[in-house]
């Protein structure tokens, strides 16, 4: 980097790297070079605002207010944009180390703000800066248009049959039109697919005179034609359907199949789902993790946010788990009494990006207690199968083979955890508070009710909050290029948000498990302002995306997924935004400490 001339350096520095050539060339032509010795005061609060955008080439500056250092900026980072945007000097800027900076005049900066991506980088609001900060990962050169509207994929109008049609008639329409489904008129309308003919007609020994009305699926799970492909995937994964009706307003205009959506982006979740559904036995388990990693890398390169990708991964893992439960029941026979397989931790929150340690448990009806050995065998089989698919065993032992019991036993466990006081016990117990049912027929309302009673245990909540607040982001003033600082994105960034959001969710009795959904619930309950929610929510998304990129890099090197990275390995924009995110988390923790009257 040091050998680059000023124009080349600027071109390599985000967000200048993405400017159209004409805009960049005009800006580069007005570039100025400035040198400022250590100790120089560039601006004071309330004085005349800066008239240039500064891009640091060498050295560093301190941003201060009332004599307190707020931030230190180094090579590749920028300052002065707040003055240029607001017309006010809101911070003191002092040169810490001899500074060589490239200056862009105010007029040129204002012109560049006409570019949306450039403007997003310099948004005054922290949440907006974080939202637009991460560059696309260079994992693959192919970038599908994942925001393409599904209505654009339709190649023919909807094919209908009347409500009184017979199965044979509907089958002939499908054959003649060369489609795998027909819509059925009615109030509400429905749909019949080739799978329905196979599973509901032939498998049941019914004939062609069977009324279509007896096998129709309704109401339709239709999506608006303007829905992006990425959101349509979510609908298919949630419903388990292979046909997606498309509407414009109140009119159904066509039907897309999973194959249609697969063609848009081959490494997407539809392809992985097909692999899972077609898995005839356990021999298909090896390679699942690699397929998920390939999908994640491709979607990130396609511009999808990390939290959206995590939702796909969770839904695919759910589909795999249900397949494994089918395999296990095939070995053991039907369950003696209903059970529920639950996932916890990041999988329970639908926030797992790549396949990491298993976190699961098994709950079964009290009537199944005499046949406990059956459930133990089920857990052993599924835990082993998950390991074969690429899910490492949990180091802490939080797996169904170790954590299985009746509903009554689980309710008692929850009650016991409410009496816990030691931080380590609290954090271990709170992992189970993210439980989410994936398979089985057992109703978990008793556990939901037990979890919902947390608000009746304010001392427990205070201790839980204190344990969450023990995890702190690093001091951003100590994060410097010349230091070989190693950061743990999970323990120093993501976990503080996750654990505190969990406290908020439990306090208000929310049944949400996802971190972002818990934060939204806290806003609705008045525990959190919209402004704080915006900043913390975007900080979480930023940290999740950065962690995902770190994990993909490790995966490309044949290393297991991890959370640690060297601060000096980050780009200038990543360093700057990471410090922003850490400060946002710390500010929220300070507010939460006051709310819970917790010390840390």
User: Three-class SS string for 474-498?
Assistant: CCHHHCCCCCCCEEEHHHHHHHHHH
Which residues in the chain show pLDDT less than 70?
1-4, 124-126, 132-145, 265-266, 423, 484, 599-600
Q: Looking at the chain, how many residues does it have? A: 600
Q: What is the pLDDT of residue 145?
A: 63
Say if strands 160-161 and 181-184 run parallel, antiparallel, or are unpaired. Answer: parallel
Separation of alpha carbons 64 and 50, rounded Å:
15
332 in Cβ contact with 176 (< 8 Å): no
Q: What is the pLDDT of residue 265?
A: 66
CA atoms within 13 A on the CB side of 94: 13
CA 553 vs CA 294, 298, 544: distances in Å:
12, 13, 14
Q: What is the pLDDT of residue 160?
A: 93
Q: What is the pLDDT of residue 140?
A: 36
368 in Cβ contact with 335 (< 8 Å): yes
CA atoms within 13 A on the CB side of 537: 20
Gyration radius of the chain over CA positions: 28
Any idea which architecture 463-596 has in CATH?
A: Up-down Bundle (1.20)
Q: What is the pLDDT of residue 250?
A: 87
Phi/psi of residue 253, nearest 5 degrees: -105, -5
- The residues spanned by each domain of the chain are 6-124, 150-264, 310-450, 463-596
For domain 6-124, the question of CATH label 2.60.120.10 is answered with yes
Q: What is the pLDDT of residue 304?
A: 82
Q: What is the pLDDT of residue 50?
A: 92
**Tokens encoding 436:** 């989410």
Q: What is the pLDDT of residue 266?
A: 61
**Domain 150-264 identical in fold to domain 310-450:** no
Q: Which fold has domain 310-450?
A: Beta Polymerase; domain 2 (3.30.460)
Superfamily grouping for domain 150-264 = CBS-domain (3.10.580.10)
């Amino acid at each position: 980097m040091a050998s680059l001339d000023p124009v080349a350096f600027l071109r390599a520095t985000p967000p200048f790297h993405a400017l159209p050539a004409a805009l960049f060339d005009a800006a580069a032509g007005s570039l100025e070079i400035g040198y400022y010795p250590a100790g120089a005061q560039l601006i004071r609060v309330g004085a005349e605002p800066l008239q240039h955008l500064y891009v640091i080439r060498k050295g560093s500056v301190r941003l201060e207010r009332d004599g307190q250092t707020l931030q230190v900026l180094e090579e590749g980072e920028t300052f002065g944009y707040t003055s240029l945007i607001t017309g006010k000097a809101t911070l003191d800027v002092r040169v810490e180390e001899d500074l060589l900076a490239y200056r862009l005049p105010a007029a040129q900066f204002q012109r560049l703000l006409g570019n949306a991506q450039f403007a997003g980088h310099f948004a005054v609001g922290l949440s907006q800066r974080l939202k637009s900060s991460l560059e696309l990962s260079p994992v693959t050169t192919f970038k599908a248009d994942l925001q393409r509207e599904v209505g654009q994929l339709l190649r023919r109008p909807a094919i209908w049959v009347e409500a009184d049609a017979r199965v044979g008639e509907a089958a002939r329409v499908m054959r003649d039109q060369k489609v795998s489904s027909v819509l059925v008129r009615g109030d509400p309308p429905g749909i019949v697919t080739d799978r329905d003919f196979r599973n509901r007609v032939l498998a049941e020994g019914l004939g062609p005179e069977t009324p279509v009305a007896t096998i129709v699926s309704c109401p339709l799970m239709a999506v608006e034609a303007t829905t992006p492909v990425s959101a349509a995937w979510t609908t298919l994964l949630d419903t388990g359907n292979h046909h997606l009706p498309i509407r414009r307003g109140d009119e159904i205009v066509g039907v897309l199949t999973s194959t249609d959506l697969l063609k848009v982006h081959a490494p997407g979740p539809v392809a992985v789902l097909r692999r899972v559904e077609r898995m005839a036995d356990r021999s298909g388990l090896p390679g699942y993790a690699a397929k998920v990693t390939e999908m994640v890398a491709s979607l990130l390169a396609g511009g999808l946010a990390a939290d959206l990708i995590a939702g796909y991964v969770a839904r695919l893992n759910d589909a795999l788990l249900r397949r494994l439960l089918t395999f296990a029941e095939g070995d053991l026979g039907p369950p003696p009494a209903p059970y529920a397989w639950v996932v916890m931790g990041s999988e329970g929150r639908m926030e797992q990006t790549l396949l990491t340690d298993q976190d699961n448990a098994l709950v079964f009806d009290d009537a199944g207690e005499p046949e406990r050995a059956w459930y133990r065998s089920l857990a052993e089989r599924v835990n082993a199968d998950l390991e074969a698919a690429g899910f490492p065993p949990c180091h802490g032992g939080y797996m169904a083979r170790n954590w299985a019991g009746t509903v009554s036993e689980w309710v008692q466990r929850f009650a016991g955890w409410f009496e816990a006081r030691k931080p380590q016990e609290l954090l271990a117990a709170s992992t189970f508070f993210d439980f989410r049912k994936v398979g089985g027929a057992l109703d978990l309302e008793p556990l939901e009710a037990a979890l919902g009673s947390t608000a009746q245990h304010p001392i427990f909540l205070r201790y839980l909050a204190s344990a969450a607040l023990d995890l702190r982001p690093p001091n951003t003033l100590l994060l410097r290029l010349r230091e070989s600082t190693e950061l743990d994105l999970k323990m120093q960034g993501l976990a503080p948000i996750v654990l505190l959001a969990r406290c908020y969710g439990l306090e208000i009795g929310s049944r949400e498990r996802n971190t972002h959904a818990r934060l939204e619930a806290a806003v609705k309950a008045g525990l959190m302002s919209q402004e704080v929610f915006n900043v913390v929510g975007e900080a979480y998304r930023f940290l999740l995306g950065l962690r995902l990129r770190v994990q993909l890099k490790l995966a490309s090197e044949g290393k297991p997924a991890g959370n640690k990275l060297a601060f000096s390995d980050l780009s200038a924009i990543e360093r700057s935004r990471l410090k922003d995110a850490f400060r946002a988390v710390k500010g929220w923790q300070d507010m939460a400490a006051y709310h819970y009257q917790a010390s840390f």
